[in-house]
Amino acid sequence: MIKDWNSFLLPYGVAVEEMKVKLRGLRKQYLEYDSESPIEFVTGRVKPVDSILEKMQRRHIDEEHLEEEMQDIAGLRIVVQFVEDIYEVVELIRHREDMTIVEERDYVKYNKASGYRSYHIVIEYNVEMINGPKKILAEIQVRTMSMNFWATIEHSLNYKYQGQVPPDVAKRLERSAEVSFQLDQEMSEIRSEIRETNPRKEHD
């Protein structure tokens, strides 16, 4: 029985704060070298205890295996402009020495039945605590602004209906996910056409 959730969650909180700074640093670097950044913004959170308990029950995870089996206690989200930027950001993370990718789920190419799209990366991250180093797992979700718009609304509707979204609403959400993805593709096409007619130095 985890009696002291605060101390259990402490390394996750430290990790989320550190990773937010590091990932926001990527945006700063892009803007330093170019006038635009594929990364729009980065958010992060430690999963609230009630959500952890609910997920433990739903996924039959016991406390001894919580650290290995619940990969999103520490969650980071990177919101980018274009679909191609998702893969660029994933490659940036892959080459970092302070984050080790242990699992990847490409829900961009292979969307979920709900219509959900995002690229999920599970990483191992080392946190230096006062009593020594501690390795934790964290989930990074990389998605476009359009995917984020859809997921945020779908998430709140799910919450409102307590997971029991009426079938007609679910169908409309599924269709709107497709429309939203078409918008992403159209934006990418517009950008590449603009770049062809008006090439910038970096893309020559």
Tell me the catalytic residues: 139
How far apart CA 46 and CA 10 sit, in angstroms, is 9
DSSP-assigned letters across all residues of 13-58: HHHHHHHHHHHHHHHHHHHHHSS--SEEEEEEEEPPHHHHHHHHHH
Residue of 39, 125, 127, 141 interacting with ligand 0O2 (CB under 6 A) = 141
Q: Is 45 in the site for ligand 0O2 (CB under 6 A)?
A: yes
Q: Which is nearer to ligand 0O2, 141 or 180 (CB)?
A: 141
Residue 3 CB, shortest distance to ligand 0O2, in Å, is: 23
Any idea of the CA torsion for 12, 14, 17, 18, to the nearest 10 degrees?
Answer: -110
173 binds ligand 0O2 (CB under 6 A): no
Residue span binding ligand 0O2 (CB under 6 A) among the ranges 4-12, 40-48, 128-136, 187-195: 40-48
Q: Which one of residues 8, 10, 13, 20 is an interface residue with ligand 0O2 (CB under 6 A)?
A: 20
Distance CA 104, CA 96 (A): 15
Q: Is 120 in the site for ligand 0O2 (CB under 6 A)?
A: yes
Query: Which residue has its beta carbon closest to ligand 0O2?
Result: 75
**Of 124, 127, 130, 105, nearest to 116 (Cα)?**
105
Per rule CB under 6 A, is residue 105 in the interface with ligand 0O2?
yes
- Residue 144 beta carbon to ligand 0O2: minimum distance, rounded to whole angstroms: 14
Question: How many residues are recorded in the chain?
Answer: 204
3-state secondary structure of 97: coil
Q: Shortest gap between Cβ of 19 and ligand 0O2 (angstroms)? A: 10
Distance CA 16, CA 202 (A): 33
Q: Does 188 sit near ligand 0O2 (CB under 6 A)?
A: no
d(CA 156, CA 167): 16
Q: Which residues in this chain contact ligand 0O2 in the complex, by CB under 6 A?
A: 20, 43-45, 47, 51, 55, 72, 75-77, 105, 112, 114, 116, 120, 139, 141, 151, 154-155
